[in-house]
Structure 1
Amino acid sequence: MAELSEDSDYYTGPRLDSDMIRQAEKDLGVRLPGSYVEVLLLRNGGIPRDRCCPTPFPASWADDHFEISAIRGIGGAWGIDSSSGRGSSYLIEEWEYPEIGVVICDMPSAGHGTVMLDYSECGPEGEPAVAYVDEDRVPRRVAQSFGEFLARLVPCDSIS
């Protein structure tokens, strides 16, 4: 399981409870994956220690990987359900991301790319894949599940 850094609480939302999870799922119209909720119950969003995801395709970030800045939680200013102009629905509309699911990561590219839970094949009640969306707005699957995505993250200095 990914360890979210406690060095900064910048992206960390309020302590998560089952009512917040249910409300976020209702607002977003999807069932959130258990592995995502498990991480958020330990720390409701934050900066992972390992932030780079190797890819078999080039990204605008690099030829063989992309970097995330944070995993978004639920509630608070940076929550996926936020109405502050930072929530998933707003980001999808503002940056014209494909409507495949939920924006779950913040990236150093400041909106030019993102990472999303991809419900396009499983439907809103299924187990979503994880997709990287680059400037071309084409979703590219990077993991079959959120748990697999977390397991793929590596320290950025380990990628040459």
Structure 2
Amino acid sequence: MFENFDFSDFWHDSQYALDEYVGESPTDEYIESIEKELGYKLPESYKYLIKQHNGGIPNNTAFRMDIPTTWSKDHISIEGIYGVDRKRDNSVCGETGTEFWIDEWEYPAIGIAICDTPSAGHEMVFLDYRECGKDGEPKVVYIEQENDMRIVPIADTFEEFIRGLISEDEFDYE
């Protein structure tokens, strides 16, 4: 898992990130309680990541896309990655976690919200369990609220998504 991937410069630990996203290091029992609350088994790669750093803002926040989205013709952007600390609003079970996005913003109940975006809720990144079931390996998708909740595939696995994050500087905004 994450073989030959260097996490030493992955996270941008600003004060905002530490206050809003980064939670306490979770135990296996805590993760199991989150899975039970959500009704989904979390991907092993996600569990690995949150045991190292429980949520946060990565240095690289863009993911190259072949399909144009409401954000851009060639990529999406994320604000942060949700961890599992219930005390953090920006967490899968936090105040603005999965339940909030599904109940309040009417995002489709296809899985777990794992990343918010700079659009303040008009696009979200979810783990999508529709094909694999609640115990399988979910795909990662981008959901566009402003485009009739269009679901756009991003990556086949969470690890592939993390490995694919690149710098926003690689894109031309003109």
State the distance in 2 between where 1:128 and 1:71 align: 16
State the distance in 2 between where 1:122 and 1:144 align: 11
TM-score by length of 1: 0.94
- Work out which of the residue numbers 130, 133, 152 in structure 2 matches 1:140: 152
- Work out which of the residue numbers 5, 9, 13 in structure 2 matches 1:6: 13
Whether contact under 8 Å (1:98, 1:138) holds in the other structure is no
Amino acid at match of 1:27: E
- Summarize deviations over 1:39-64 as a string: whole Å, max 9, x none: 11111000011100111111111111
State the distance in 2 between where 1:4 and 1:36 align: 15
Determine the structure 2 residue equivalent to 1:68. 78
State the distance in 1 between where 2:51 and 2:133 align: 24
- Work out which of the residue numbers 34, 48, 56 in structure 1 matches 2:66: 56
Tell me whether 1-10 or 55-64 shows the greater mean CA deviation: 1-10
- Work out which of the residue numbers 33, 41, 54 in structure 2 matches 1:44: 54
What's the secondary structure of 2:125's corresponding residue? Answer: strand
> Over aligned residues, Cα RMSD in angstroms?
1.2
State the distance in 2 between where 1:102 and 1:18 align: 19
Whether contact under 8 Å (1:98, 1:139) holds in the other structure is no
TM-score by length of 2: 0.86
Whether contact under 8 Å (1:118, 1:129) holds in the other structure is yes
Post-superposition offset of 1:4: 2.1
1:153 aligns with 2:160: no
Specify every segment of 5 or more residues in structure 1 that has no aligned partner in the other structure, as ranges.
none
Whether contact under 8 Å (1:53, 1:153) holds in the other structure is yes
Q: Identity over aligned residues, as a percent?
A: 37
Amino acid at match of 2:61: R
Post-superposition offset of 1:116: 0.2
Larger radius of gyration: 2
Determine the structure 1 residue equivalent to 2:139. 129
Whether contact under 8 Å (1:55, 1:64) holds in the other structure is yes
- Matched residues, number: 158
Whether contact under 8 Å (1:13, 1:74) holds in the other structure is yes
Post-superposition offset of 1:81: 1.4
1:114 aligns with 2:124: yes
- Summarize deviations over 1:60-114 as a string: whole Å, max 9, x none: 11111110010000022222012x3x12111112111111100000111011000
State the distance in 2 between where 1:115 and 1:34 align: 18
- Output aligned runs, 1:12-51, within 5 Å: 12-51=22-61
State the distance in 1 between where 2:104 and 2:63 align: 25
Determine the structure 1 residue equivalent to 2:111. 101
